A and B are shown apart, each in its own frame.
Chain A
Amino acid sequence: MAVLSEEQTMLRDAAKSWVSEKSPVTAFRKVRDSGNAEGFDRDAWREMAEMGWAGIIIPEEFGGSGMGYLTLGLVLEETGRTLTASPLVSTALAATSALIVGGSNAQKQAWLPKIAEGKAIAALAVDEAAHHAPAKIALKATKSGSGWTLSGKKTFVLDGGAADVLVVAARTSGKSGDANGITLFLVPGDAKGLMRQKLKSVDSRGVANLAFENVEVGADAVIGSVDQGYGILESTLDRARAGLAAEMLGMATQAFETTLDYLKTRVQFGQVIGTFQALQHRAAKMYTDLELTRSCVEAALSAIDSNSNEVPQLVSLAKAKANELAHLVSNEMVQMHGGIGMTDAHDAGLYLKRARAAEATFGSAAFHRDRYASLLEY
Chain B
Amino acid sequence: MSAAEKLDPELEAFRADARAWLSENFPSSLKDRDVAMLTMAGISLTGDAKLWRDRMGEKGWGTPTWPKQYGGGGLSSAQARVLQQEMARIGARSPIAGMGVMMFGPTLLEYGSEEQKQRHIPKIVNGAVRWCQGYSEPNAGSDLAALRTQAVDKGDHYLVNGQKIWTSGAQFADWCFCLVRTDNTKKHEGISFLLIDMKSPGIEVRPIKLISGDSPFCETFFTDVKVPKENLMGPLNGGWTIGKRLLQFERAGLGDGGGSQGRALNARGIEQLAKDYVGVDDDGRIADAELRTRIAEHQMNAKAFALTIARARAEAKSAYGPSATTSIMKNAGSRLQQERAELLLEIMGAQGLGWDGEGFSREEIDSTRAWLGGKAVTIYGGTYEIQNNIIAKRILGLLDHQ
User: Which residues of A line the B interface, CB within 8 A?
Assistant: 1-4, 70, 260, 263-264, 272, 274-277, 280-281, 283-285, 287-288, 291-296, 298-299, 302-303, 305-306, 308, 313, 317, 320-321, 366, 369-370, 372-374, 376-378
Contact = CB atoms under 8 A, between A and B. Distances in A.
Contacts of B295: 373, 378
Contacts of A294: 311
B305 A275 contact: no
Given A277-B389, A292-B304, A292-B308, A260 B396 contact: yes
Contact of B285 (A263, A285, A378): A378
A292 B328 contact: yes
Contact of B311 (A276, A285, A298, A313): A298
Given A281-B385, A292-B305, A292-B328, A378 B315 contact: no
A299 B401 contact: no
Contacts of B315: 1, 3
B277 to A, nearest CB: 13
Given A264-B398, A283-B392, A287-B328, A372 B307 contact: no
A176 B284 CA distance: 22
Given A272-B399, A281-B389, A284-B389, 14 more contacts: A263-B398, A264-B398, A287-B396, A292-B304, A292-B328, A292-B332, A294-B311, A305-B2, A317-B300, A317-B304, A373-B286, A374-B285, A378-B272, A378-B275
B388 A302 contact: no
A287 B324 CA distance: 10
Given A369-B297, A370-B293, A372-B299, A3 B308 contact: no
A378 B308 contact: no
Ordered nearest first, which 10 A-B pairs have the shortest CB separation? A280-B392, A295-B307, A284-B391, A284-B388, A373-B296, A378-B271, A295-B308, A277-B401, A274-B398, A288-B328
A378 B397 contact: no
Nearest to A320: B300
Contacts of A370: 293, 296
Nearest to A275: B399
Contact of B304 (A3, A275, A295, A308): A295
Taking each of B328, B387, B388, B398, which has the highest tally of chain A beta carbons within 10 Å of its own beta carbon? B398
Given A1-B320, A272-B399, A275-B400, A376 B299 contact: yes
A288 B398 contact: no
A6 to B, nearest CB: 11
Contacts of B292: 373, 378
A118 to B, nearest CB: 29
20 contacts: A2-B1, A4-B1, A264-B397, A274-B398, A277-B392, A281-B392, A284-B392, A285-B388, A287-B395, A292-B301, A294-B311, A298-B1, A298-B311, A302-B2, A313-B303, A366-B293, A370-B293, A373-B293, A373-B296, A378-B286
Nearest to A372: B296
Given A288-B328, A321-B304, A378-B271, A369 B293 contact: yes
Nearest to B393: A280
B300 A302 contact: no
B332 A288 contact: yes
A334 B320 CA distance: 34
B320 A291 contact: no
B331 interface: yes
Interface string B369-402: 0000000000000000101110111011111110
